Amino acid sequence: MIHPVRYCVLTPEQRSRVYCCNICLRESDDADNVFLGHVSGEGVHAFHEQCGKDWMRRLPICPECRVDMVIVDPSSLLDTACHGCFNEVTAILANRAITDAARGQAVIAAAKNGHLAVVNAILANGAIADEHRDLAVVAAAENGHLAVVNAILANGAITDAARGQAVVVAAENGHPSVVNAILANGAITDAARGQVVIAAARKGDLALVNAILANGAITDAARGDAVIAAAKNGHLAVVNAILANGAITDTNRSFAVLWPASNGDLAVVNAILANGAITDDARNQAVMAAAEKGHLDVVNAIFANRAIPDAVRGRAVGAAAITGHLAVVNAILANGAITDAARGWAVRSAAGQGHLAVVNAILANGAIANEHRGKAVIAAAQNRHLAVVNAILANGAIADKYRGLAELAAAINGHLSMVIALKRARDSMMCTVLGTRCSWSARSWQSRPRLDDVRCIRHEIQVVGSILAVTAFVFGVARVLPRKSASS
């Protein structure tokens, strides 16, 4: 959401940077000429009072940078303080009695937007309530206005809770100098310290993590969350600093290992594994994630950590097979047995993606069921992987129904050489009505006639015989009907 920029009377400092009106482009040699405007980056976009008034009646945007503009209500302390209109704020403070509450609200608004001169002017005017001082520090800290933070801290005490909140929002928004200023001011709670460490860990801000850990205790839970946040983002030094600070639970350690395993961040994985136990479930998930992404060193590190069940090893082979990570597949197969079913699923996964080397590695590892072989051929045929089809056909028999579907898939893809490969490899043909055409095609590709060709020729005879029988019946009926109509 974009707030409109308000423009108002310029401060003497802003006025000194103006050399012409952005509307009429005339230089002002008259020092009394009132200029209104707003600060934009390094420059000040300024207008004569009358030029601005005429312009804003037609179009409420800055003629120079085209941001939306609205006119500040010059009689409102909150309005003018919020937008840093120093001259108008001082005029209001000089001419009117202001309540503590109004002063407090105006300080909060000015502090949020970093208007130091306005904050100082209002604080010099009289007291503000303690809770307003708390809110003003948090607002300035959130937006990184260090000078304003210091001005308010110098004005009076703030609570530990406000100090903690201000440190948290400053850390989350990346204002380390503000964090340090507030930490120097007094104590913060353990909970706030924990939140800051988590925010700093997420960003990998080692200096801030160390500063807060040196400041006081954080809970085990916060330490765990901070390790997870740092591990997720690959901040090894931060992970080590927090682990050195105290214990984290097995559960948090288990969570923390998953992201670096998936990201292939071996150093972070090792740091967490060296710190203590992780759950079996986490170990299994970490192997799977690393295998899928092809992180061989991480897979080996987790294997070295503790034995993995055969079922998990099988799923990990499948995950590596589908993404074609041959080295990972070999490492997992070298680690121990996988079931025939897992091998079958892995071959099917690799076959569909055309990973020939992976298919061969898994087929060399042990037997797979005919059903898996058949479905693997279909998957390879669908995706036009001829070399994979040939590798699996060389591995053993596949059932007719799978060969038929594979031929169909190859035919739909217009992959003639694959259709031929499938037909050449077959032991018997699917004998359906469609078989008559298959038989003819097969004979043109095969030099010698085979048993299944004969079977399909028999089918042709059956089909031709059926057509003749139907034709004879129709002619018979056609002959009988006119006779009946003639006799009646």
Alpha-carbon gap, residue 43 to 14, rounded angstroms: 9
**Contact call for residue 83 and Zn ion (CB under 5 A):** no
Residue 99 is which amino acid? T
Q: Among the candidate windows 46-54, 87-95, 338-346, 380-388, which touches Zn ion by CB under 5 A?
A: 46-54
Rounded to whole angstroms, the Cα distance separating 395 from 392 reads 5
Task: Between 68 and 220, name the residue whose CB sits nearer to Zn ion.
Answer: 68
What 3-state DSSP class applies to 143? coil
When asked if residue 45 is in the footprint of Zn ion (CB under 5 A), the reply is: yes
The dihedral built from the CA positions of residue 418, 424, 425 and 427, taken in this order, carries a sign that is positive
Token output for 286: 């970490």
CB of 14 to Zn ion, least distance (A): 13
Candidate segments 64-72, 121-129, 235-243, 362-370, binder of Zn ion by CB under 5 A: 64-72
Contact track, Zn ion, 3-32, x by CB under 5 A: ------------------x-xx--------
Please, what is the minimum distance in Å from the beta carbon of residue 72 to Zn ion?
15
Which of 18, 56, 62, 122 binds Zn ion (CB under 5 A)? It is: 62
CB of 29 to Zn ion, least distance (A): 13
Choice between 38 and 325, CB closer to Zn ion: 38
48 binds Zn ion (CB under 5 A): yes
Closest separation in Å from C-beta 115 to Zn ion: 18
The residue among 62 and 242 lying less far from Zn ion, judged by its C-beta, is 62
Q: Per rule CB under 5 A, is residue 343 in the interface with Zn ion?
A: no
Shortest separation between residue 138's beta carbon and Zn ion, angstroms: 30
How far out from the chain centre does Cα 361 lie? 33
For Zn ion, the binding residue among 40, 339, 428, 462 (CB under 5 A) is 40
48 or 175, CB closer to Zn ion?
48
| Interaction of residue 392 with Zn ion, rule CB under 5 A | no
d(CA 258, CA 285): 7
Residue 179, both tokens: 């964090």
For 204, other C-beta atoms within 10 Å of its C-beta total: 17
- The site for Zn ion, by CB under 5 A, has a size of 10
The nearer residue to Zn ion, 40 or 462, going by C-beta atoms, is: 40
In one-letter notation, the amino acid at residue 221 is A
> CB-wise, 24 or 431, nearer to Zn ion?
24
| Among 4, 143, 123, 118, residue whose Cα is nearest residue 62 | 4
Closest residue to Zn ion, based on beta-carbon distance = 21
Closest contact distance (angstroms) between CB of 11 and Zn ion is: 16
Residues lying near Zn ion in the complex (CB under 5 A) are found at 21, 23-24, 40, 45, 48, 51, 62, 64-65
